[in-house]
Chain A
Amino acid sequence: MKKTVARLLSLTVCAGMLTACGGGNSSAPASSGAADSGASASGASGAVYYLNFKPEADDAWQALAKAYTEETGVPVTVVTAASNTYEQQLMSEMAKSTPPTLFQVNGPVGLSNWKDYCYDLTGTDVMGELASESFALKDGDQILAIPYVNESYGIITNKTLLAKAGYAVEDIDSFDDLKKVAEDITTRKNELGFAAFSSAGMDGSSNWRYQTHLANMPIYFEYQDKGVGVSETIEGKYLDNYKAIFDLYINNSTCEPAALAGKTGDDSRNEFLAGEAVFYQNGSWEYSNLVGEGKPFTDDDLAMIPIYIGVGDEANQGLCDGTENYWCVNGAAKEEDIQATLDFMYWCVTSETGTKAMADDMGFVIPFKGAQESPNLFVRQDAAYSAAGKTPISWAFLTIPSQTWKDELASVLTAYAAGTGSWDDVKTQFVDGWASEYAALNG
């Protein structure tokens, strides 16, 4: 009896999804998943529900989920959270009766919030595929989270425009060089017809580039000085350098600093695509948005250079390397769903379709044995930097205590850029906010 009810329910659910998907191509903004018709018929027991962190890879995940369902009959739902709302959505989804079976944490800090819900991955097939066990996040003996992508970020540079301004990428290997080039472009902005930096938009779809990725720099160098990997207090020793690079971004931009508050990630990208700016701070995941069919750039036009802030051995500085994408399997899910999820993960990182999709469509380098060579220019560049003996900057921002810290940093940065707030507010938030958020994390 119960089974019949369950089957009926799953049928209606699938029908519901079909109608949701059928109503115009992917109209439903919640990016509802791809449980396809075959699913219920084959009577597969488990189901996968993946709460994806990366909005830019949403389309590719939906397609991959569909391919998996077609191949195996196991329904896979992929839901993607909007920028900066992942934790929020995870919180509310986990409390539901059908919680995500596969979710993400951004690193050790994220894991500490969720470790009670993580399934121990020790001895699973997918764990066996991980290139090195040391990549995984552990709690005691338990392996709770595994990274599925390695990424790097820096300043994406339009080489063609840079040449027009009379410079080459090789000319820039320190903060002073970057400043000189950027300010020179700004003085000749009208004559050249483009600006140095694309807008440092402070809208939620874009501000993570500054409150997280750029904020990494002062945190990283302070950790280096102290010789630690994580610290519950931060002195803000390099905040002046953070200010210098942020000032450089906002004062040599396509728009006035006061207008940044409303600029979005798309605005910034579109400016770069339209050739209105030479520099664009972003990461390797951005590749597929810049190069390819219908995109204006080829590999020859672009380069990614390190973010120089005038600290350390700049001549030997590499790109920022790391991952904030760790997979966790929900240990509170039904047994058959956990198994289905593990199978799905294994398939993603081993099968031809899976690895190809992750390498080509998502532009990922995956830390698994079956990884395919990525066509991603920035990934290849990152490897080249490392081969040349440059030291990659690790992602110290993984130790940022909370999303709130980031949001509030973004808020004071926005006010600073608009001229309504002072840099002291930024400092206060950076240093005091860090301490109080760590206190809250432990409390």
Chain B
Amino acid sequence: MNQNKTLKDNITSIILGVLSIAWIYPVFMILFNSLKKETAISTGTAFQLPTSETLAGLANYVNALTSKGFLTAFWYSLVITLTSVVLILICCSMCAWFITRVNTWYSKALYYLFVFSMVVPFQMLMFTLSATADRLKLSSPYTICIIYLGFGAGLAVFMFCGFMKSIPIEIEEAAMIDGCSPLRTFFMVVLPILKPTLISVGILETMWLWNDYLLPYLVLDRTKGYMTIPILIQYFRGSFGKVEMGPMMASIMMNIIPIIIVYLLCQKHIIKGVAAGAVKG
């Protein structure tokens, strides 16, 4: 019986092993193709490893970095993601605390509005949202976080509310009775308790923001050359007058690598965050 079980486990291990190699193969394929010379990249040879003849070294990376605006796009992506996540975490957690602790018709109405906004597809607002952002001069990478705060508030508030309900109200009340103002209570008492939730929401929002394409594509002012990495990668297709696969794949890799590093560093938090977020969601 026991032997039988270990045999079964070994077979499962092997199957899963093969499957996970297949799972990372696409990324690996992009990696070695990005090291090939432009002329050696074609649809039929994507599976071939680079040979000494076709190996271009880091030429595609250098090309993408120096002449294709990758660094600018990377910087804008970083700025947008960081400012927006920080803004969303602070503002939405405060808002959620208010909603859960103040029991009036308008806090309830607000809560349902936020939930409603979570479900509405972006296409519904894409034109009017970008027009509004343009009118209010929010179409730069440094101000777009306000748009993200507005559009992303739904999910964040919803998740914070879910967690807040399970925090015992007594600690906060005790702090208030001791003479803390609500602001002080929030930052000194509530936020520390919320830390795991902050991490979960932060991770979900980061995953969304870093990869978001359509919103920045429509909102950012392209006449000033603002673009994020997904926009740049989409731009490689045809917009330079031809399809430059080499720099494109290099850019894809340079988009993925930071994600993978961050993922490996805080894997536990990410997986916990996703599980927690989904159970509440």
Contacts and interface: CB of A to CB of B under 8 A. Distances in A.
| Chain A directly contacts chain B within the complex, with at least one CB pair under 8 Å | yes
A260 interface: no
B54 interface: no
A24 B223 contact: no
A265 B222 contact: no
B125 interface: no
Given A20-B224, A205-B242, A28 B72 contact: yes
Contact of A262 (B227, B239, B243): B243
A97 B140 CA distance: 14
A264 B243 contact: yes
A97 B239 contact: no
Interface stretch (A77-85, A136-144, A243-251, A395-403): A77-85
Interface string A350-367: 000000000000000000
A266 B242 CA distance: 6
A92 interface: yes
Nearest to A25: B67
Contacts of B98: none
Contacts of A77: 223
Contact of B238 (A13, A33, A204): A204
A110 to B, nearest CB: 21
Contact of A29 (B43, B130, B131, B232): B232
A77 B222 CA distance: 12
- DSSP majority for the A interface? loop
**Interface range for A:** 20 to 34
B235 A16 contact: no
A92 B69 contact: no
Given A96-B134, A97-B134, A262-B43, A29 B240 contact: yes
A265 B232 CA distance: 20
Interface string B101-139: 000000000000000000000000001001100110100
B239 A79 contact: no
Contacts of B137: 9
B241 A30 contact: no
A200 B155 CA distance: 49
Nearest to B71: A23
Nearest to A26: B67
**Interface range for B:** 20 to 34
B222 A79 contact: yes
Interface string A260-289: 001011110000000000000000000000
Interface in A51-98: 55, 77, 79, 82-83, 92-93, 95-98
A28 B238 contact: no
Interface string A195-222: 0000000011100000000000000000
B223 A79 contact: yes
Interface in A1-54: 9, 13, 16-17, 20, 23-25, 27-30, 32-33, 49
A236 B67 CA distance: 46
B134 A23 contact: no
A55 B242 CA distance: 12
Contacts of B130: 92, 95
A264 B225 contact: no
B196 to A, nearest CB: 39
A175 B233 CA distance: 43
A33 B72 contact: no
Contacts of B69: 23-24, 27-29
B5 to A, nearest CB: 51
A82 B225 contact: no
Contacts of B71: 23
Interface string B183-227: 000000000000000000000000000000000001001111111
A17 B238 contact: no
Contacts of A25: 67
Nearest to B42: A262
Contact of B223 (A23, A30, A83): A30
A265 B241 contact: yes
B72 A27 contact: yes
A203 B243 contact: yes
A203 B236 CA distance: 13
Contacts of B225: 17, 20, 28-30, 32
A186 B52 CA distance: 34
Nearest to B238: A204
Given A27-B69, A266-B241, 13 more contacts: A28-B72, A29-B69, A29-B225, A30-B222, A30-B224, A55-B241, A79-B223, A82-B239, A82-B241, A83-B238, A203-B243, A264-B238, A265-B242
7 contacts: A9-B137, A20-B224, A23-B71, A29-B68, A29-B232, A30-B226, A264-B241
Interface of B: 43, 66-69, 71-72, 127, 130-131, 134-135, 137, 140, 218, 221-227, 232, 235, 238-243
The 3 tightest CB contacts between A and B, nearest first, are: A28-B225, A266-B242, A32-B225
